[in-house]
Amino acid sequence: MYNLGILLDGALQAGDYIGFTFFTGYMSMLAASIFFIVERGTVIDKWKTSLLVSALITFIAAVHYFYMRGVWLETGTSPTQFRYIDWTLTVPLMCIEYYLILKPAGASAGMLVRLIVGSVVMLVAGYMGEAIYVNQNVLWGVISTLGWGLIIYEIYAGEAAKLAKATDSEVVKTGYNVLRWFTLVGWAIYPIGYMMLPGNLLSGLVEGVDLTKTSPVDLAYNIADAVNKIGFGLVVYSIAKGATAAEKAAVAEKAKFATV
């Protein structure tokens, strides 16, 4: 049975590169979840929640990738609904990661709320442009970018930025800088993918691409998810490991003085 130019029997075809990225996305998200859960046992208590949240992010994504992979194989269309349900759950969890990391430095609930409000604006508007008012995807993309801008403002110039600057933990300071770089540069892959939608700013780039056989937007999103969910989680992991080592060294130092 041929439909949309793809052989739709639920099997992965040799030339279906988008299908490949759905499979590798699924498997790597699952592997990352196991890694974060197991490694959670190697960090001090106050970092365990952060690693659990990293695992939840990749696990929620793994389950959605399982479904998205199925939609793509069986219909040859973008699994936009599952995509946005996934993001609606995982992006706020990333905001919680920022909150947990800055909590010892005095992060307020207001900071978390501002990050989540930015995420909601970004994702609701994105969904409107991609699934409901497709002909106005430029306008909705602009509104979505304002939501992303709120997040960027908070982590580069708002309360979050000030707390990170003032913390006395070098590990947190360095890690925070890498995390916000992910949110600025890694997250930029998503709007670039979105701009390849028909009628949007970069649609000219994919002119001549047979959109019934492949989907540049999904390719961009799948790459971005792997970078931003697994990579972001690994940075949180390295902060937790670094802070654990620093705490252990401090305890050992104290014990040395206690015995002399």
| Contact positions vs ligand RET (CB under 6 A) | 87, 90-91, 122-123, 126, 141, 144-145, 148, 187, 190-191, 194, 225, 228-229
Closest to ligand RET by CB, 16 or 130 = 130
Total residue length of the chain: 260
Closest to ligand RET by CB, 191 or 216 = 191
| Residue 10 φ then ψ, to 5° | 80, 0
Q: Shortest approach of ligand RET to residue 168 CB, angstroms?
A: 29
Closest to ligand RET by CB, 35 or 148 = 148
Helical H runs in 103-186?
A: 109-127, 137-156, 159-166, 170-181
| Residue 7 φ then ψ, to 5° | -75, 110
Q: Shortest approach of ligand RET to residue 219 CB, angstroms?
A: 14
Closest to ligand RET by CB, 126 or 242 = 126
Instruction: Using the structure block, give the residue that is written with the tokens 């002399």.
Output: 260
Q: Is the Cβ–Cβ distance between 78 and 215 less than 8 Å?
A: yes
CB-count burial class (<10 Å; 0-12, 13-18, 19+) for 162: middle
Q: Shortest approach of ligand RET to residue 200 CB, angstroms?
A: 9
Q: Shortest approach of ligand RET to residue 259 CB, angstroms?
A: 49
Q: Shortest approach of ligand RET to residue 90 CB, angstroms?
A: 4
Looking at residue 173, its amino acid is K
- CB neighbours of residue 153 within 10 Å: 14
Q: Shortest approach of ligand RET to residue 65 CB, angstroms?
A: 11
User: Which residue is at the shortest CB distance from ligand RET?
Assistant: 126
Closest to ligand RET by CB, 139 or 245 = 139
Angle between helices 80-102 and 170-181 (to 10 degrees): 160
Closest to ligand RET by CB, 214 or 228 = 228
Q: How far apart are CA 44 and CA 120, in angstroms?
A: 32
- CB neighbours of residue 71 within 10 Å: 17
